[in-house]
Each structure stands twice: as structure tokens, then as C-alpha cells.
Amino acid sequence: MSRIFRDDLFAGQVCLVTGGGTGIGAATARELGQLGAQVVIASRKEANIRPAAEGLSHELGREVVGEICDIRDREHTAGLIDRVLTRFGKIDLLVNNGGGQFFSPAEAISGKGWDAVIATNLTGTWNLTKAAADAWMLKHGGCIVNVTMLTEGAFPGMAHSVAARSGVEAMTRTLAVEWANRGIRINSLAPGFVASSGINRYPAGLDLISRMQSFVPMKRLATCEEIAWFIAYLASPAGNYITGETIAIDGGKSLWGDWWPIADPDPMPPVVIPKEPWETGGE
């Protein structure tokens, strides 16, 4: 049962969530499923998606479909959309959460590393968006939510990813205008620091995980559920007049400058990175 929305909010709707095996994607799939949606989750890695689909199906009491898809490959994305349409007949919501990057100073990013991050985060989002639009949404309408990152300022150590995500946000604004009269709404969410497995990509030597809360005015990290709730909001009737926006969910981080001190609580709350039951080491 959702803690925020009524249980049947998405009854009869078909929702596709990429990167659905862990973190924000898994939390989003759970929330949408609790609200009555038929959920399909997809990932490039079978080791992530199969246990997640089984675990979510068990939790929700009905099938969550797991699909393998490399979003960098246009044939893969077209095939995924075709399988969803063949089985369920429509796609009401596409959540482009799949992506990936690695922490590196710009001078250490190789050409191969740059290309891989751009292909996954920018081209991959385009591939799936275009496939869903061509096969269904341009004729029938729908909602698309792209999960990006904080791009307004500098993001040292993530030059490749912030460039790709900025491209997704520009694409979001443009498609929102081009496709508005086709009944398609498309928005981006830019999470700040989230207590998910994704922050484990930061090098341990930087000790960022324990320090991240100090960089946030609210002095805590977001939960995956808080991101999932806003995705559900945008896809619900409450979001019907919102399109082309990039909305930061960051506890005020992108607004804060060092000149205005905000004291840390004493003690700082512990940082807990939750694991899904199907993840290695989960309960």
C-alpha cells in the first residue's frame, strides 16, 4: 500500500521502468505497482532484473515483468517496446531511469569511457523515448519521465555524465513542445544525493558518502521512495498540466552557497544505503 496515493491510481495502466532492478528504479516500480499499474522493469543486466522481477512480484502479489534490454542498442529498445505492446497492448508511462557513469577527473576520462557514458545516458534515453513514441505514444499519448542529475552548476568528477544528462534535459524541453499536441507529456527529475546503491560509485577514499549530508541544507539524503513518489505525481492526473520541466529533488543543495553557514546536527544521522531483499546481502 502506498503511503501517499490511493491504491487504484494507476489501475489499468502499463508502466515501463528502465534500471528497474535497484535503487530509484526498483522503488518506482514498487510504488507504481502498489498503485495498481501493470509494471515492466528492464535492465541490461540479467543479474539485476530477474531477482528484482521475482521479488517485486512476490511483494505485490501479481506479476512484475522483467525484460533484458541494452538501451544503447536501437534494435534492443525497439524490441522491448514491441514485446510490451504485444503482451499488454499499450504503454501509458515510460520512466527512463536506466543509466550509468563512473567517478573520474576529466583528464582521466578516456575516449572509450566518454563514449560509453554518453551512449548510455543520452543516446539510450533517446532510443527508448523514440521507440515508445513511434510505436505507441505519438498516436495515443502518454507520459515520459527522465531521471537525470543536478546539472545547473558544476559537477566535478562527472563531466561525462553531467554533459549527457544536460542533453537529456534539453531534449525533454524540446520534445515537450513538439509532442504537446500529440498528448505526450515529458519531464525530467534531477535528484540530488540519494541513499541508494548508486552513490557507491564514488571512490571510498573521498569519504563522500559520510560527508554528503553536510552539503545539503536539509542535512540528510533523499530516499529512493521520495523520488518514486514524485514520478508517480507527474504521471498522475495532478501532473496533467506539467510538461517540459526539470525538477530538482535535492533538499535545497543546488540553492546553497558556502557564504551562508548551516550547522550540522550533532550527531549527524547515519547514512543507511538500503538493499532490496533480492540484492546480495539483503535480508
Q: Spell out the per-residue pLDDT of the chain, length 283, in tens.
A: 788 898 899 999 999 999 999 999 999 999 999 999 999 999 998 888 999 999 999 999 999 999 999 999 999 999 999 999 999 999 999 999 998 888 888 999 999 999 999 999 999 999 999 999 999 999 999 999 999 999 988 888 889 999 999 999 999 999 999 999 999 999 999 999 999 877 766 666 556 777 888 989 999 999 999 999 999 999 999 999 999 999 999 999 999 877 688 889 988 888 888 889 888 754 4
Q: How far apart are CA 131 and CA 80, in angstroms?
A: 9
SS3 at position 35: coil
For the entire predicted model, the pTM comes to 0.91
What's the pLDDT score for residue 279?
A: 84
The alpha-helical segments, DSSP class H, found in 136-200 are: 138-140, 159-178
End-to-end CA distance of the chain: 20
Domain architecture of the chain: domains with CATH: 14-255 (3.40.50.720)
Residues ≥6 apart with Cβ < 8 Å to 139? 182
Which H/E stretch holds residue 96? Answer: strand 93-96
